[in-house]
Structure formats: C-alpha cells, structure tokens
Chains A and B, each alone.
Chain A
Amino acid sequence: MSEVRLSEEKDGFALAQPNHPARARNAGPNLKMWSIGSVLLGLAVWEAIGRSVSRSLFLTTPSEAVSTIVELSLSGELERHALVSAEAFFTGYVLGCSAGLFIGLVMGVSRRANAALSPWVSGLYATPVIAITPLLILWFGIGVWSKIAVVISLVIFPMIINTDAGVRSTDRALIDAARSFGANPLQIFLKVCLPSAMPFVLAGLKMAVGRGLIAVVVAELFGARAGIGFMIQQASEVFSMPRLFAGVLVLAIAGIALTSMFSRLERVLVPWNR
C-alpha cells in the first residue's frame, strides 16, 4: 500500500487500479535512502562515542571492529569459528524447521492431533527453553550436537505454530470451491490448504532465523570449543572489545542476510501475497 501511495505522489495522479506487481514492488528510492542514512548515522554516532571514550575496556568503534574482522578473516580464524557455528545453525535449522513444518501440518489437518499437541506446543513455546541449554550440553556433550539440539528446540515452535495457523486459516469458501469440482481430501490439502498456508510457513521460517542464531550463540557461550559464540566468550574474558564486537557484527550480518534472503524468497514463492 505504501509503495502505491508513493508512486501516486511522484506521478501526480491517482492510480485507477493496483499496480503491476513489478512496479508495486519497487520500493521507492526515497525510502531506501532513509534506511541507509539511518544506519550510517548510527554507525557515525557509535564511532564518535567510541573515539571520545578512547581505548576503553568496554567499548570499541565500528572501524576497529571492521578492521578486526578483516584481520581475523585474513588469519583464517574467523572462517574457522564461523564454519563451526554455521554447521550447527544450518543443521539445526533444517531439522527443526522440517520437523516443525511436519508437526504443524499434522496439527492443521487433524483436530485430534491438534488437541493432543497444542498444550505441549503452546506451553513449550512460552517457556524460555534456552534456559535448559546447560542440560542439553550435559546430554549431548560439548560438540556440535548439543548446539544442534538447542537450535532445534528454539526454531521448531514458531514453525509449528505458524504452519498450523496457516493451514487452519484456509478460507472455507476456497475449500468449498475445490469440493464443488470434486476434489478429494488429499487434493484439497495439496491444492488449497498447503498453498494457502505458504505465507505463514515463510513467516515462520523467517522468524526461526533469528531464534536459531540466538540458539547457536547461547549454546556456544555456555560451553564450546569453537564457534562465533565461543570467540565472543573468549574475547569478553580478556576484555578484547574489538574481537567481541567483530563477533557480534558477523552475527548481525548473518541475520540480516538470511532474513533478507527470505524476503526475496517470499516475493518469488508467494507473489500473490501483497
């Protein structure tokens, strides 16, 4: 809607009908400038404060964090940690999201499954399961599997809840329309409920990115031999702020990159969902 209004102002006339998708999707250059400007301003303020506090043990400047990233990357240390974290993240993410998708679909289709599972799901979703991370490390050891377990336990719930809500919010009228053509229950599920749930599923996947990253880092803070979280933990112990912020920055960039990838994917997979 905002995009449409923007082009209205620019062209100076009201549009008679919704724009062509390609056009409506083109967020105005104006808005993008505001986003970039805001980020640059924030970094500049951070830089200024960092410099005026001069060589503090508690803060660094963005320029220093970036140069530390370059340094760490040239030595190969960053890649080593990032790879360890990425492995745990992606394995846990894929496993957790697949399981969440499956459970969500079952709950969306079967009212009995829904009644049986929803107390567990809503109970565990509301519980900060991250608190049992030490327990999971005890169970699965200090390697990659404890991290994967933490990631799964965090990404699975938004996935279940979103998928379930997506399937159940399928328009009754669309199901009737499919039935009127003689569609059987399986066809209704595949051709109506599933596509109708797609925007919800993608939103769940997107939400799971942030939670999955948190999970990896927390697991590594609690106990690990390598990984970005481990690197951050080590840096904070020796008050090496540039290293600490370098780690945080890498995580932030990974989060932004993954989330924006999903936004792009959304445009490709659910072009009808304005």
Chain B
Amino acid sequence: MPSKLSVRGLSKSFGALVALDRVSLDVSEGEFISLVGPSGCGKTTLLRIIAGLDAADTGQVVIDGFPVSRPGTDRGFVFQADCLMPWRTVWRNAIFGNEINGGNNAEAASRTRDLLRLVGLGGFEHYYPWQLSGGMRQRANLARALAINPKVLLMDEPFSALDAQTREIMQTELLRIWESGRKTVVFITHQIDEAVFLSDRVVVLGRRPGRIRETVNIELARPRPFSIKRTPAFVAYVDRIWGMIEKDVRASLTEELTTH
C-alpha cells in the first residue's frame, strides 16, 4: 500500500540542541498513528514540520507523492491549547479554513454544518468560544480542522488541557468521528493509554536527539469500546510502551529538577 504521508530523513536543530535526528516515517491511507515520547523528544517539532509551520534543516515531507514545505489544505492541524479565534463564533471559526482558501461556498458550508453536528456542536453555532466548556472548544477545534477536508489530520496533544473525565469522553468521541471518515491521523500525546486506545500504530520517540525508538502495532479490534482499556491485551501494550520510554522520562525528570 503506498503511503499517504511519508517523512524522509527529517532533521532539525535549535542551536546546539538536536531536536530531530533523521526521522523517517510512513503512514498509510486511513491509518491512525500516535507519537509518544518524553518531553523534549521533538514530537511537537515533528508535527509542526509536517504541518509546514516550521522548516526542517534536512529531509522531506511527502503527501501523496508530492513534497510539501508549507501549510496547505491537504493537512488539518488541531492544536494543543485552545486556538479558536475569540472574536469568532463557533460557526465562523469552523469555516475559517475555507474562508482563507477562498472555498467558502455552499458545499463547504453544508459540510461544515454536518461536521459541527458530527462533533456534537449542532445548535452551538452562534456561541463564542468563551461561552463553551474546554471539551466543546476542542470539538470546535476539531471541526475547524476537518472542515477543509484535509487528507491528513495532525493533532498536537488536543486533549491535554481537559480534565480526566472529559478527556476519556473525547477519546471515544474522536474514535467515533474518525470511524465515520477514516482520515489519516497523526496524533501526539503524553498519555500512553490514550495512544494505545486510539491508534493502529504507536511510534515511540527517544530524546536528545529525537529519534524513532520503536514502532508498536496495536492489534485491537475496532470499533473499540471504552471497556477495552481494562482488558489484559490493552494493559500489556501500555506496559510495553511504558517500558520503552521509562528511562527517558526519568532522565527528563531529573533534568527538569536540576534546571529549575
């Protein structure tokens, strides 16, 4: 199967710090992959380069066979924090991407309307972000990214600012939404169980320099009910991945303790 998204020999340094060191990665059509790793492993940098927000020092990002270096409608980005425009209502936030790209037509409008319903925001079109809960804001964020109908969806710790319960609900919601369209997704998270629950494949990154350490295929049947998190197979995956990054996490922890 030809890969939808392919990252070839990507390197990036910030001064003396090597954030990414020759990272290569292939994601096939409709695949959901997660990148996990300790802080400082360069996973956000990698995602930003794929999105075209930052430039790589060397290497290439290829989508459907074409190299890309700038942001485009073939990729939709869901940000970590709340990145909705506070002066725009949910509706006007959701159509932002189409507005930017001159594709703000009836078809885009009806697709956006459907998307807002899909993410559970039907009826909230005229609300401003400050009137919504954190979970609802991230739903709107997701709808905005999907509204440009991207080939690849890039998600940078989208649920990290949510409380634990909302987060669990958003995970099942995301799977439900993903099942309906099966986009290619690259998802970044700190939480291993989140990665295992959502992904077809979990890519484990190591730190200093950021390199792909290992790739774990998650062979759990879909659709995955929430209860799957309590099965031995699931727990085994989480333990295995945790084992791979534990040393790195401890290293970054002591580093934080000594630098702060």
A178 close to chain B: CB less than 8 A: yes
**Are B129 and A272 touching (Cβ within 8 A)?**
yes
Complex alpha-carbon distance, A88 and B32, angstroms: 66
- Complex contacts, A271 vs chain B, CB 8 Å: 128
B14 close to chain A: CB less than 8 A: no
**Are B71 and A179 touching (Cβ within 8 A)?**
yes
Complex alpha-carbon distance, A5 and B101, angstroms: 43
A183 close to chain B: CB less than 8 A: yes
- Complex contacts, B86 vs chain A, CB 8 Å: 272-273
Question: Given A183-B100, A192-B85, does the pair A177, B79 have CB atoms closer than 8 Å?
Answer: yes
A-side binding surface: helix, strand, loop or mixed? helix
**Are B97 and A272 touching (Cβ within 8 A)?**
no
**Are A181 and B100 touching (Cβ within 8 A)?**
yes
B 78-110 contacts with A by CB, 8 A: 79, 81, 83, 85-88, 96-97, 99-101
- Complex contacts, B73 vs chain A, CB 8 Å: 181-182
A 175-198 contacts with B by CB, 8 A: 176-183, 187, 191-192, 195-196, 198
**Are B87 and A181 touching (Cβ within 8 A)?**
no
**Are B129 and A182 touching (Cβ within 8 A)?**
no
B68 to chain A, nearest CB (A): 11
Complex alpha-carbon distance, A181 and B88, angstroms: 16
- Complex contacts, B70 vs chain A, CB 8 Å: 182
Question: Given A180-B77, A181-B71, does the pair A270, B101 have CB atoms closer than 8 Å?
Answer: no
- Complex contacts, A196 vs chain B, CB 8 Å: 87
A141 close to chain B: CB less than 8 A: no
User: How many interface residues does A have (CB within 8 Å)?
Assistant: 25
B123 close to chain A: CB less than 8 A: no
**Are A180 and B51 touching (Cβ within 8 A)?**
yes
Complex alpha-carbon distance, A273 and B88, angstroms: 11
B217 close to chain A: CB less than 8 A: no
A274 close to chain B: CB less than 8 A: yes
- Complex contacts, B101 vs chain A, CB 8 Å: 181-182
Complex alpha-carbon distance, A179 and B86, angstroms: 17
B170 close to chain A: CB less than 8 A: no
In order of increasing CB-CB distance, the 4 nearest A-B pairs are: A180-B77, A181-B97, A177-B83, A195-B87
- Complex contacts, A272 vs chain B, CB 8 Å: 86-88, 128-130
Neighbour of A191 across the interface among B51, B71, B79, B100, CB < 8 A: B100
**Are A274 and B130 touching (Cβ within 8 A)?**
yes
- Complex contacts, B130 vs chain A, CB 8 Å: 18, 272, 274
A 156-192 contacts with B by CB, 8 A: 173-174, 176-183, 187, 191-192
A21 close to chain B: CB less than 8 A: yes
**Are B131 and A195 touching (Cβ within 8 A)?**
no
B133 close to chain A: CB less than 8 A: yes
**Are B81 and A179 touching (Cβ within 8 A)?**
no
Question: Given A181-B101, A192-B85, A195-B85, does the pair A176, B79 have CB atoms closer than 8 Å?
Answer: yes
Complex alpha-carbon distance, A193 and B182, angstroms: 35
Complex alpha-carbon distance, A187 and B100, angstroms: 7
- Complex contacts, B52 vs chain A, CB 8 Å: 180
Complex alpha-carbon distance, A178 and B51, angstroms: 12
A190 to chain B, nearest CB (A): 11
Neighbour of B87 across the interface among A20, A177, A270, CB < 8 A: A270
B122 close to chain A: CB less than 8 A: no
A19 to chain B, nearest CB (A): 9
